[in-house]
């Protein structure tokens, strides 16, 4: 019938090239676009395309999953909770605000040696760095070294915008709540005095953060001068220009500060604290053995049921320990494969009644 229709339409065509420019324009253009005849690819989900896709996904995902899982399992990781809420914990004493400075020590043992670069993290739980009011409570202009923002921080910083009529630098709740425990790691060896593991405090922040996003305010040589007219955040013990002794790790570009300012997505998070670089000799970076962690306990979390942890971890090509990803890949790969099989069976069984069914009108 379609043929019929078209043929008639042409017959109906009348004299071609009839006169009258205006009238002629009324005739729709015979373009593929306007006549909806654009060449097109019309994909259909056929057994020939769908089933191989499922099998291929299965075949790709399972090995990847196994790879990730194995890699993840090879990563050494140890976590030490030093919140000190349990009475038995050595840090229990530090819960009271009266003891300042409070230093506590936790002993632990590495069963296996940690090879390669080892990363030391502090972990916080139940700490809502992703709270809306928290997240926005900063002034990136100030942190970028903008002199006007330095002295007149953004309103977003309220209530940590000014203290005693002086602008706070860095302003805001994020900066104000910066983690300020000090962690030191010692290897206890039987023959000699405890060996302090060298902890590298530079190279823990993103390059873009350190070099683009955070900048100290311009001005004289002296960092203190550059921050003149500002005051330290309320909770801080010392002003921002005394965060570190090294000049390129002080002020806003202090890496501990930068790491803290990169807020976490979830209420339980870990942040990189120190690097323990691979030693040149054949020894593992952290040989198996007994260690103790020396904590200068400044950062109260128990009031909101927070937890504090110290984590030591090695990494792989895909980062730290991540069992979820591997398991997920294996699972999804298997499901996909199974689904492929099921669909294959269904397709085989019912194909005759399906695709080649009569078109009934």
Partner 1 sequence: MRATKGYPQFTDLTCLSPSCRVSHGIAGTLLGEMALCAKKRPPEEERRARANDREYNEKFQYASNCIKTSKYNILTFLPVNLFEQFQEVANTYFLFLLILQLIPQISSLSWFTTIVPLVLVLTITAVKDATDDYFRHKSDNQVNNRQSQVLINGTLQQEQWMNVCVGDIIKLENNQFVAADLLLLSSSEPHGLCYIETAELDGETNMKVRQAIPVTSELGDISKLAKFDGEVICEPPNNKLDKFSGTLYWKENKFPLSNQNMLLRGCVLRNTEWCFGLVIFAGPDTKLMQNSGRTKFKRTSIDRLMNTLVLWIFGFLACMGVILAIGNAIWEHEVGTHFQVYLPWDEAVDSAFFSGFLSFWSYIIILNTVVPISLYVSVEVIRLGHSYFINWDKKMFCMKKRTPAEARTTTLNEELGQVEYIFSDKTGTLTQNIMVFNKCSINGHSYGDVFDVLGQKAELGERPEPIDFSFNPLADKKFLFWDPSLLESVKIGNPHTHEFFRLLSLCHTVMSEEKNEGELYYKAQSPDEGALVTAARNFGFVFRSRTPKTITVHEMGTAITYQLLAILDFNNIRKRMSVIVRNPEGKIRLYCKGADTILLDRLHHSNQELLNTTTDHLNEYAGEGLRTLVLAYKDLDEEYYEEWAERRLRASLAQDSREDRLASVYEEVESDMMLLGATAIEDKLQQGVPETIALLTLANIKIWVLTGDKQETAVNIGYSCKMLTDDMTEVFIVTGHTVLEVREELRKAREKMMDSSRTVGNGFTYQEKLCSSRLTSVLEAVAGEYALVINGHSLAHALEADMELEFLETACACKAVICCRVTPLQKAQVVELVKKYKKAVTLAIGDGANDVSMIKTAHIGVGISGQEGIQAVLASDYSFSQFKFLQRLLLVHGRWSYLRMCKFLCYFFYKNFAFTMVHFWFGFFCGFSAQTVYDQYFITLYNIVYTSLPVLAMGVFDQDVPEQRSMEYPKLYEPGQLNLLFNKREFFICIAQGIYTSVLMFFIPYGVFAEATRDDGTQLADYQSFAVTVATSLVIVVSMQIGLDTGYWTAINHFFIWGSLAVYFAILFAMHSKGLFDMFPNQFRFVGNAQNTLAQPTVWLTIVLTTVVCIMPVVAFRFLKLNLKPDLSDTVRYTQLVRKKQKAQHRCMRRVGRTGSRRSGYAFSHQEGFGELIMSGKNMRLSSLALSSFTARSSSSWIESLRRKKSDSASSPSGGADKPLKG
From the list 107, 189, 222, 355, which residue makes contact with partner 1 (rule: CB under 8 A)?
355
Q: Which residue has the tokens 């899982």?
A: 69
Q: Which of residues 253-272 bind partner 1 (CB under 8 A)?
A: 259, 262-272
Compare residues 4 and 245 and give the one whose CB is closer to partner 1.
Answer: 4
Q: Nearest CA to 241 among 263, 272, 212, 220?
A: 220
From the list 5, 165, 238, 281, which residue makes contact with partner 1 (rule: CB under 8 A)?
5
Q: Which residue has the tokens 């060996």?
A: 195
Q: Which of residues 119-178 bind partner 1 (CB under 8 A)?
A: 119, 121, 126-135, 137, 139-141, 143-144, 146, 154-156, 158-159, 173, 176-177
**Contacts made by residues 324-329, CB under 8 angstroms, sequence distance 24+:** 325/65, 325/68, 325/72, 326/65, 326/66, 326/67, 326/68, 326/69, 326/70, 326/71, 326/72, 327/65, 327/69, 328/65, 329/61, 329/62, 329/64, 329/65, 329/68, 329/69
How would DSSP label each residue in 307-353? EEEEEEEE-BTTBS--HHHHHHHHHHHHHHHHHHHHHHHHHHHHHHH
Tell me how far, at minimum, the Cβ of 192 lies from partner 1, in Å: 29
8 A C-beta contact, residue 124 and residue 301 = yes
Compare residues 56 and 105 and give the one whose CB is closer to partner 1.
Answer: 56
Binding status of residue 17 toward partner 1 by CB under 8 A:
no
Binding status of residue 36 toward partner 1 by CB under 8 A:
yes
Sole window of 25-33, 106-114, 242-250, 288-296 interacting with partner 1 (rule: CB under 8 A): 25-33
Q: Which of residues 310-339 bind partner 1 (CB under 8 A)?
A: 313, 315-322, 324-325, 328-329, 332, 335-336, 339
- State whether the Cα torsion 63-66-68-74 is positive or negative: negative
Sole window of 103-111, 223-231, 288-296, 351-359 interacting with partner 1 (rule: CB under 8 A): 351-359
Tell me how far, at minimum, the Cβ of 98 lies from partner 1, in Å: 17
Residues in the interface with partner 1 (CB under 8 A) total 122
Please give the helix or strand (H or E) that residue 63 lies within, else none. Answer: helix 47-74
Sole window of 36-44, 86-94, 192-200, 289-297 interacting with partner 1 (rule: CB under 8 A): 36-44
Sole window of 84-92, 241-249, 278-286, 308-316 interacting with partner 1 (rule: CB under 8 A): 308-316
Tell me how far, at minimum, the Cβ of 189 lies from partner 1, in Å: 26
Measured in residues, the chain has a length of 361
Binding to partner 1 by CB under 8 A, coded x per residue (else -) over 182-221, reads ----------------------xxxxxx--xx--------
Task: Spell out the residues 6+ positions from residue 276 whose beta carbon is closer than 8 angstroms to its own.
Answer: 117, 118, 119, 120, 185, 197, 198, 199, 200, 285, 286, 312
From the list 6, 74, 100, 109, which residue makes contact with partner 1 (rule: CB under 8 A)?
6
From the list 78, 242, 275, 341, which residue makes contact with partner 1 (rule: CB under 8 A)?
275
Cα separation, 28 vs 50, whole angstroms: 41
Cα separation, 28 vs 41, whole angstroms: 25
Label residue 24 left, alpha or beta by phi (over 0 means left) and psi (-120 to 50 means alpha): alpha
Q: Which of residues 219-248 bind partner 1 (CB under 8 A)?
A: 235
Please give the helix or strand (H or E) that residue 81 lies within, else none. Answer: strand 77-81
Tell me how far, at minimum, the Cβ of 43 lies from partner 1, in Å: 7
Compare residues 103 and 315 and give the one whose CB is closer to partner 1.
Answer: 315
* Residues in a beta bridge with 105: 294
Q: Which of residues 76-115 bind partner 1 (CB under 8 A)?
A: none
Binding status of residue 289 toward partner 1 by CB under 8 A:
no
Compare residues 195 and 324 and give the one whose CB is closer to partner 1.
Answer: 324
């Amino acid at each position: 019938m379609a043929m019929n229709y078209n043929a008639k339409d042409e017959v109906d065509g009348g004299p071609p090239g009839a006169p009258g420019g205006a009238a002629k324009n009324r005739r729709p253009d015979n373009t593929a676009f306007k006549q909806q005849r654009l060449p097109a690819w019309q994909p259909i989900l056929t057994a020939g395309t769908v089933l191989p896709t499922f099998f291929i996904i299965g075949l790709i995902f399972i090995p990847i999953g196994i790879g990730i899982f194995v890699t993840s399992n090879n990563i050494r990781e140890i976590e030490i909770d030093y919140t000190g809420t349990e009475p038995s914990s050595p840090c229990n004493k530090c819960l009271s605000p009266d003891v300042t400075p409070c230093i506590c020590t936790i002993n632990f043992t590495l069963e296996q040696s940690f090879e390669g670069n080892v990363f030391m993290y502090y972990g916080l739980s139940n700490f809502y760095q992703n709270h809306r009011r928290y997240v926005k409570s900063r002034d990136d202009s100030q942190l970028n070294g903008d002199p006007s923002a330095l002295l007149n921080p953004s309103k977003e910083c309220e209530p940590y915008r000014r203290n005693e009529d002086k602008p706070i630098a860095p302003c805001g709740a994020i900066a104000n709540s910066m983690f300020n425990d000090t962690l030191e790691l010692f290897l206890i060896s039987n023959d000699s005095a405890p060996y302090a593991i060298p902890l590298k405090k530079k190279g823990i922040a993103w390059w873009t953060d350190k070099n683009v996003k955070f900048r100290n305010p311009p001005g004289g040589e002296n960092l203190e001068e550059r921050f003149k007219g500002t005051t330290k955040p309320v909770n801080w013990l010392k002003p921002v220009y005394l965060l570190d002794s090294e000049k390129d790790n002080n002020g806003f570009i202090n890496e501990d500060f930068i790491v803290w300012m990169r807020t976490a997505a979830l209420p339980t998070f870990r942040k990189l604290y120190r690097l323990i670089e691979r030693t040149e000799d054949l020894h593992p970076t952290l040989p198996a053995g007994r260690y103790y962690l020396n904590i200068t306990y400044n950062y109260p979390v128990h009031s909101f049921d927070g937890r504090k942890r110290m984590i030591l971890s090695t990494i792989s090509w895909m980062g730290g320990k991540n069992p979820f990803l591997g398991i997920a890949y294996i699972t999804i790969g298997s499901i996909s494969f199974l689904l492929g099989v099921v669909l294959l069976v269904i397709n085989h069984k019912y194909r005759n009644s399906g695709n080649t069914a009569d078109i009934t009108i």
